């Protein structure tokens, strides 16, 4: 969901600049991500808990399982059954206290699904399809990333977040991660309260629920919280290769800086930034606002792409790559290829699946940007 206000402000800025210089609006300088410091009000955070533009029209029927990976077709059937079960629950009298002390009898087994698999096997597609297939009004089901969920708590407060989401039939959490012990406790407590209220849960991640935190933290202080989360979900494994590159040619080579600059000037709503400057700017914007950072963009143009120097910058770039991919914003870049963004140590560490996902998604966006080069 893109902000009309932001678009109007950008149009106003372009018009004002053009009038002052006497140049036509079409010759205005490209936008800059580094000049943006978005503020996202709490009501927008709640309103945007829906599948992003790339996944707005996906359905179970549009998911194409790999014939060589039977777990993919099996996952579709599990999720179809899960959505049908939510419909039966609604017909039987609405929400149930599945894990709490309600008067209604609690069904056997966990009432959440957890889609586990590598990057590019279609987990987000399936999670969004579940959201669409669940028989409830959009206001009674929520879809967001783990980062967006934690930021919602920060904006509304814990108790208000519980009240806001407790009336939902389904909460879908994409890119479920536990990179911080505080977030571990926060989300564990939140989900426990929502489950007591009868909210069904669904999540995606690259790590099984009982393995969350491995390769990142090994502290016994929050291991108990991790194990508690796993009890809420039925793990559904999805094997396979990255569909974004299945049968496709090699990723495009980077363009020259001159080509990138020309593409930025010739594409409506394009931004143009030096890659090192963008990495520094991302540190000044909370990752939960990266979606708003990209509001109204027709393309992101980057010059001087280079290996990311440290893990903090790398993880922020991963979040930006996810938001650009969700919003279908093509990326035109000069410098090193995207498969050289992260060093060998990063690709062998605990966040390696995040980095591979970012490479995969940025490569897909680079392919989509090819038509912008003249």
DSSP state of 327: T
Q: Is the pTM of this model over 0.85?
A: no
- The predicted-structure confidence for 149-188, as pLDDT tens digits, reads as follows 988 998 899 999 999 999 999 999 998 876 677 787 888 8
Q: Is the pLDDT of residue 43 over 50?
A: yes
Q: How far apart are CA 359 and CA 353, in angstroms?
A: 10
* Residues 36, 70 within the same domain: no
* Residues 89, 213 within the same domain: yes
Q: What is the mean pLDDT of residues 135-140?
A: 91
Please report whether residue 367 resides in a domain. yes
| pLDDT band (50, 70, 90) for residue 105 | very low
* Total domain count, the chain: 2
Q: What is the pLDDT of residue 110?
A: 64
* Residues 133, 229 within the same domain: yes
Is there a contact between 38 and 292 (Cβ–Cβ < 8 Å)?
yes
Query: What Rg, from alpha-carbon coordinates, does the chain have?
Result: 21
Please report whether residue 45 resides in a domain. no
Q: How far apart are CA 316 and CA 44, in angstroms?
A: 22
Handedness of CA 236, 237, 240, 244 (dihedral sign): positive
At what angle are helices 181-196 and 146-156 packed, to 10 degrees?
80
Is there a contact between 266 and 308 (Cβ–Cβ < 8 Å)?
no
Domain residue limits at 158: 63-243
Dig out the tokens for 228 from the structure: 């508690």
| pLDDT band (50, 70, 90) for residue 219 | very low
Q: Mean pLDDT of all residues in the chain?
A: 82
* CATH number, residue 195: 3.40.50.300
* Residues 166, 288 within the same domain: no
SS3 116: strand
Please report whether residue 50 resides in a domain. no
* Burial call 239-260: b when 16+ CB within 10 Å, e when fewer: bbebbbeeeeeebbebbebebb
């Amino acid at each position: 969901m893109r902000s009309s206000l932001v678009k109007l402000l950008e149009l106003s800025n372009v018009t004002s600049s053009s009038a002052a210089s006497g140049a036509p609006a079409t010759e205005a300088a490209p936008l800059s991500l580094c000049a943006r410091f978005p503020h996202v009000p709490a009501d927008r955070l709640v309103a945007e808990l829906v599948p992003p533009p790339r996944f707005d029209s996906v359905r179970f029927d549009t998911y194409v399982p790999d014939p060589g990976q039977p777990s993919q077709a099996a996952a579709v059937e599990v999720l179809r059954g899960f959505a049908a079960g939510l419909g039966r629950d609604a017909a039987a009298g609405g929400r149930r206290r599945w894990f709490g002390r309600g008067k209604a009898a609690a069904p056997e087994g966990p009432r959440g699904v957890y889609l586990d698999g590598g990057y590019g096997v279609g987990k987000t597609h399936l999670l969004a399809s579940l959201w669409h297939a669940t028989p409830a009004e959009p206001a009674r089901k929520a879809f967001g990333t783990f980062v967006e969920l934690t930021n919602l708590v920060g904006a509304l407060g814990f108790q208000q977040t519980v009240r806001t989401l407790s009336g939902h039939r389904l909460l879908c959490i994409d890119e479920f991660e536990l990179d911080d012990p505080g977030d571990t406790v926060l989300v564990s407590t939140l989900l426990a309260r929502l489950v007591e209220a009868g909210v069904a849960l669904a999540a995606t991640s690259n790590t099984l629920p009982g393995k969350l935190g491995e390769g990142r933290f090994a502290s016994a202080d929050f291991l108990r919280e991790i194990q508690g989360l796993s009890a809420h979900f039925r793990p559904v494994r999805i094997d396979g290769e990255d569909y974004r590159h299945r049968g496709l040619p090699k990723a495009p080579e980077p363009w020259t800086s001159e080509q990138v600059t020309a593409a930025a000037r010739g594409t409506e709503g394009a931004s143009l930034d030096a890659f090192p400057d963008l990495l520094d700017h991302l540190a000044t914007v909370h990752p939960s606002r990266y979606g708003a950072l990209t509001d109204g963009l027709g393309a992101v143009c980057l010059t001087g792409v280079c290996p990311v120097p440290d893990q903090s910058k790398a993880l922020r770039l991963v979040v930006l790559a996810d938001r650009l991919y969700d919003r279908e914003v093509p990326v035109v870049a000069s410098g090193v290829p995207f498969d050289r963004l992260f060093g060998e140590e990063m690709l062998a560490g605990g966040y390696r699946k995040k980095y591979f996902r970012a490479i995969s998604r940025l490569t897909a966006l680079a392919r989509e940007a090819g038509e912008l080069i003249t």
